[in-house]
């Protein structure tokens, strides 16, 4: 049985052009900085984000955690939104690896503002107060349903944080989705941040990899941290080649995924018992509440799977669907029909 897989955009398959590029990639030992394809990918990523340098890493989690490690000292706090991936989706890595405390803050629709951040900044004390070491933002915001933070708000937060002596890191796993929604160049979104991470292996369809970007001195330090974290990858140009295709070609089609997510969101909003605000479905992620249907998340995922649709629960009451390159508009129509059928068959 074939499935319409809406669990995540990480399930995308590399395109034929990516597979061809991977097969003929020129490679070298990247730990010695000798892989020409990796070097080209890093230069392209840095230029796109308007940063001095970039570094290819195996995963978004590693990229985030390298940046967090380099911006902070053990025992400090990291301010993050309470539904952020850094806080909820990275195995408490900042505590386990870097000796840091997360300071989660609630943002409306997952989006922080400066007053909410300023209110929890700790100046530190030799006696008992933990000092704030870093502010992190996420754009687009995964677990808030792909919501997007406007450029002006990001700039205000970064400017004010810098005035307070704090660096700011952007978890931009889906920054190209955010840029597409805002109709702004991705460089504008990245500009005010001290470091940025983005993923190649989500909506951009590459099989593996993420990049972090920042100043030249920051990336020089990140090389050592990547090696320490086990991210030194030898002839990795075979993966970087797919990343080059992702940046050159796949970012240009993300609006199609957003339109398909809107189709799902508006259709689900019309179904009695399900709750979603389509106006908050900014990108390719939709999250809807099933708690009034009398079925559990496990019930929903099982019944949808039986009808050829894969979705995932993010908590006890909310189901997530993510559109991507390997899901067509017709697939979304079919998925929507499956949702209606699940409810229609319930007593």
Torsion of CA 60, 63, 65, 66, to 10 degrees: 170
Radius of gyration of the chain (CA): 20
Instruction: State yes or no: pLDDT of 107 exceeds 80.
Output: yes
- Give 14's DSSP letter: P
Instruction: State yes or no: pLDDT of 128 exceeds 80.
Output: no
User: What count of other Cβ atoms lies within 10 Å of the Cβ of residue 285?
Assistant: 28
- Of the two residues 235 and 123, the one the predictor is more confident about is 235
Kindly indicate the confidence band of residue 145, based on its pLDDT and cuts at 50, 70 and 90. Answer: very high
Helix (H) or strand (E) holding 85: helix 85-88
pLDDT at 253: 97
Residues contacting 222, CB < 8 A, separation 6+ = 55, 66, 67, 70, 212, 214
Residue ranges matching CATH 3.40.640.10 in the chain: 15-249
Label residue 92 left, alpha or beta by phi (over 0 means left) and psi (-120 to 50 means alpha): left
Residue 115's nearest CA partner among 170, 160, 167 is 160
Instruction: State yes or no: pLDDT of 186 exceeds 70.
Output: yes
Q: What is the mean pLDDT of residues 170-193?
A: 98
CB contact at 8 A, 146 and 261: yes
Rounded Cα–Cα distance for residues 218 and 160 (Å)? 21
Q: What is the mean pLDDT of residues 253-274?
A: 97
Rounded Cα–Cα distance for residues 179 and 303 (Å)? 35
Record the tokens describing residue 216, joined without a space.
Answer: 């030249």
The domain made up of 15-249 is a member of CATH 3.40.640.10: yes
pTM score, whole prediction: 0.96
The CA-based diameter of the chain, rounded to the nearest angstrom, is 64
Record the tokens describing residue 45, joined without a space.
Answer: 């990523």
pLDDT at 344: 87
Q: Rounded to 5 degrees, what are φ and ψ at 187?
A: -60, -35
Q: What is the mean pLDDT of residues 296-319?
A: 97
Q: What is the mean pLDDT of residues 103-109?
A: 97
Instruction: State yes or no: pLDDT of 346 exceeds 70.
Output: no
Instruction: State yes or no: pLDDT of 302 exceeds 60.
Output: yes
Q: What is the mean pLDDT of residues 10-17?
A: 97
Record the tokens describing residue 95, joined without a space.
Answer: 């505590």
Instruction: State yes or no: pLDDT of 194 exceeds 80.
Output: yes
CB contact at 8 A, 17 and 244: no
Instruction: State yes or no: pLDDT of 159 exceeds 70.
Output: yes
pLDDT at 23: 98
Residue ranges matching CATH 3.90.1150.10 in the chain: 4-10+253-344
Kindly indicate the confidence band of residue 126, based on its pLDDT and cuts at 50, 70 and 90. Answer: low
Domain at 4-10+253-344: CATH code = 3.90.1150.10
Instruction: State yes or no: pLDDT of 1 exceeds 80.
Output: no
Would you mind telling me the total number of residues written for the chain in this entry? 347
- Of the two residues 135 and 128, the one the predictor is more confident about is 135
Instruction: State yes or no: pLDDT of 277 exceeds 60.
Output: yes
Record the tokens describing residue 196, joined without a space.
Answer: 């940025």
Residue 140's nearest CA partner among 81, 94, 95 is 81
- Give 141's DSSP letter: B
CB contact at 8 A, 183 and 148: no
pLDDT at 167: 98
Query: How far is the CA of 166 from the CAs of 83, 127, 332, in angstroms?
Result: 21, 21, 43
Instruction: State yes or no: pLDDT of 27 exceeds 70.
Output: yes
pLDDT at 123: 81
Helix%, strand%, coil% for the chain, nearest 5: 45, 15, 40
**pLDDT digit string, tens, across residues 216-247:** 999 999 999 999 999 999 999 999 999 999 99
């Amino acid at each position: 049985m074939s499935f319409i897989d809406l669990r995540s955009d990480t399930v995308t398959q590399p395109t034929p052009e990516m597979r061809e590029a991977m097969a003929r990639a020129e490679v070298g030992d990247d730990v010695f900085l000798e892989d020409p394809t990796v070097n080209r990918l890093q230069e392209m990523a840095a230029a796109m984000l308007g940063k001095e340098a970039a570094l290819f890493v195996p995963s978004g989690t590693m990229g985030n955690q390298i940046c967090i490690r380099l911006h902070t000292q053990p025992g400090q706090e990291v301010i993050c939104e309470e539904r952020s991936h850094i806080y909820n989706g990275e195995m408490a890595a900042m505590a386990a690896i870097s000796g840091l405390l997360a300071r989660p803050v609630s943002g409306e629709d997952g989006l922080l503002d400066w007053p909410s951040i300023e209110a929890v900044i700790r100046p530190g004390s030799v006696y008992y107060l933990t000092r704030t070491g870093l502010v992190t933002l996420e754009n687009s915001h995964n677990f808030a349903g792909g919501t997007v933070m406007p450029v002006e708000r990001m700039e205000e937060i970064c400017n004010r944080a810098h005035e307070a002596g704090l660096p700011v890191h952007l978890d931009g796993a889906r920054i190209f989705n955010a840029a597409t929604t805002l109709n702004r160049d991705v460089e504008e979104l990245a500009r005010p941040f001290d470091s940025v991470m983005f993923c190649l292996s989500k909506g951009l369809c590459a099989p593996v990899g993420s990049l972090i970007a920042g100043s030249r001195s920051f990336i020089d330090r990140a090389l050592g941290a990547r090696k320490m974290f086990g991210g030194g990858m030898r002839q990795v140009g075979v993966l970087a080649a797919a990343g080059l295709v992702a940046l050159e070609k796949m970012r240009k089609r993300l609006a199609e995924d957003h339109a398909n997510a809107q189709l799902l969101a508006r259709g689900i909003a019309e179904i009695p018992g399900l709750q979603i605000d389509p106006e908050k479905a900014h990108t390719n992620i939709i999250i809807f509440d099933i708690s009034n249907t009398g079925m559990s998340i496990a019930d929903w995922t099982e019944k949808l799977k039986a009808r050829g649709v894969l979705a995932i629960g993010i908590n006890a009451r909310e189901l997530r669907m993510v559109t991507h390159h390997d899901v067509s508009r017709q697939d979304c129509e079919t998925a929507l029909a499956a949702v209606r059928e699940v409810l229609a068959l319930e007593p």
